[in-house]
Structure 1
Amino acid sequence: MKKLFITLIGLLLLAPAAIAQNQPAQKGKKLIDQIVAVVATRPILESDLVDPENPEANKNISKKTKCQLLEMIVLQKMLVNKAELDTLPVQESEIDQQIDQKVGYFLRQLGSQEKLEQYYRKSLADFKADMRLPIKEQLMADEAKKKVVEDVKITPSEVKEFYNNIPKDSIPKIGTTWEIAHIVIEPAVNPDELTEARNKIKQLRDRVLKGENFSVLARIYSEDPGSAPKGGELGFFNRGSMQPEFEAAAFSLKKKGDISEIIKTSYGYHVIQLIEKKGEFVNARHILIMPKVSPVDLDKAARRLDSVSNLIRKDSLKFADAARKFSTDKTFVNGGTMINPQSLNTKFTANDLDPTMVEILNKLKPGEISQPIPMDTDERRKAFHVITVKSKSPPHVATLNTDYDAFQNMGLVKKKNDALDKWAREKVKITYIKVADEYKDCDFYKRWIQ
């Protein structure tokens, strides 16, 4: 029982998005709703545990699953109650931002405001209004959770104890892991290439203004691989979703079919056509032309990088110092050390990297430097980099010595779960909770209330 409770607490702590109830994202209800629980003054409905739109599918939802969902929602409501009592701040602007993000998602999925309103049988204004309370409560619960666990820390001795308490057959197996650093040299685009790219986008814009089909031209000429196959269409987006220059131009367009001036961003030159504008959202298509780095400049970058690498190999220059001095990548501040965007630490597994990179790393010993390798930057510009392996750990059963960070994170999560578990068990004694008779055989009800 305790294991199940801790698991559910962990879901609350680690995956709040899974608990947020998108109740506005429903058509008219097709079941007779009822209150199945009340926490303080907050009701929980049967429709929170099932899909009101699909009675047949609901037949396959087990009672155990409903009990687990109810337990999570009860805990969420308790946290909301704490946030309210402690007057924990939730900004209206933050609620608005969350609403805009969700509405933008639904608009992209369904294609237009009209289709959204038709599908959900309510106006966009009502749709957004219905989202406000559940989103506000989720943000309040998040703040309360942070407050409950904010002082929870884990010491090295506690990490060791956590590791020692893991059954031997449950210790995870770790694949090959690397710590990697690189030096990137991205050649500047020469003025002639910039002029050529701008002239090309101007010619395309002129063709659109003369009546040619924007979508067809985008499919043929646009260098945005994500939108070109869709005729340049980006789908609905709101402010803060795109680069500022692009966003300002898109939102300045007034009516369907309007064409922007030429816009320059870090990706290159764009021309934008408005498809639809609905309140805070815009759907537009664009054509992107990226200035090309000349083969001569790319070759110069590769040869310069090779020279830097040779200095490092001769011990005339340390890799980290060379990265700080020569690298054009943002990792230069870390001496070229790459950060894993998934784990936010410096360890990479094969699953975190593309196969080409894995192949290169498998050929390098720690401390060795690769030859200059062509690459694309985050903005899809051509560059070269050299890679070094700072450390390599072969496949192994995880140990405290080799994988301390992983066990530290796991132990901290458990300790936070325990803190939240303790808080919930205490608060349930002084919080009004009423559960419908049909759910009184749920495990959480037996533990907490009986």
Structure 2
Amino acid sequence: MKERVIIAGVETPGNSENFLESMNELKNLTETVDGEVVGSVTQKREAVDRRTILGKGRLQDLATLVNSRDAELVIFNQELTARQNQSIADAVGARVIDRVQLILDIFAMRAKSKEGTLQVELAQLNYLLPRLVGKGVELSRLGGGIGTRGPGETQLETDRRHIRRRITSIKRELKAVSEHRERSRQKRLETPVFQVGLIGYTNAGKSTIMNLLTAADTFSEDQLFATLDPLTKQWRLPSGFQVTLTDTVGFIQDLPTQLIEAFQSTLEESRNMDLLLHVVDAAAPGRDQQEETVLQLLSDLEMDKIPLLTVYNKMDLLPEGSFVPTLFPNVCISALAKGAGAVLTEAIQKRLMEIMVPYEGYVSMSDVYVISRLKQETILLFNEFDEEKNSYQVKGFAPEKSQWLRRISHEMDR
């Protein structure tokens, strides 16, 4: 049975531009954890009330709505302090959580790998540590509804020293995992594998595109944060060029700082990409804001210098001729439509050739195995036997650090 929820938020001069989109997103986030939004309370103020976020009158309206709709939970769009949470809960007579706790709850649902689970637990403990005042009763009842998918009551005792010890322990475990990941990353960097990463706002369709290109069979439901743990698969372009394709966690506006810190090692996977596919839901009402959020996070993570191709997805949900792209270069597709894979692949190859270095040269008959390697490690566009030179003439595009640029060039100079 779904938990009955009322969402609440305050519009201030600082958040007025995207307030409606943010509240709608809060509703979608709530539905992602199987909550039923039965009401909404908003207020426009110069600043939030320091004690109860909402003003006295609107707080009373919220209490009345909770009672009349038999709501069990109130979720605030603003981050709440422990004191604010307690004051609001006392006033409305229902359990209260905030947007950050809700997102942490979704991540707890989605985490599957050991690293992902540890990262979520670390984020939850960092969130809860300063909010332990007055939480003893609530923390002893974890697991009973939205916002309660904590690491478990043994980790959430009100003894701060115990929680700090657990945080230290998790960081130690994550450091070991991170070091292993770094060794694996270095091995990949030493091999001539071109890396492509899927990034974008949550629910833009990254996992669907991953499946479209690689038949990876990843979870790709129409849900926020459907993918949490990064997945890397091999993908071969029609020319034979082999790359790795990595699907990552979706971004969201006001992504909790606890999560950015906790998922640093996961996000670092994307830092080493040679090309990023920025997947955008073309039909999203707040598309401009979503694009801005992703680009800002890329800048914050020092990933804004990586070559980008914007993939406008879900074009089938828009009236024909109504779409105007804002990011370039781009490709417009409907990932579920017939032929979308071919259109996207062609656009990716075109973008690859823009960021790669062209080469032209000859391969002797005694080195014919080189042609096979060129097909796998470069985009080989031309390959014909030249009887006059008794060699194969080759043309194509290679990654900037490719050994073949030097080798083919050397053959030309001989």
- TM interval, shorter chain, is under 0.3
Q: TM-score, normalised by structure 1?
A: 0.20
Rg bigger for which structure?
1
Relative to total residues, which structure has the larger strand share, 1 or 2? 2
- Pick 1 or 2: higher relative contact order, CA cutoff 8 A, min separation 6: 1
Relative to total residues, which structure has the larger helix share, 1 or 2? 1
Q: TM-score, normalised by structure 2?
A: 0.21
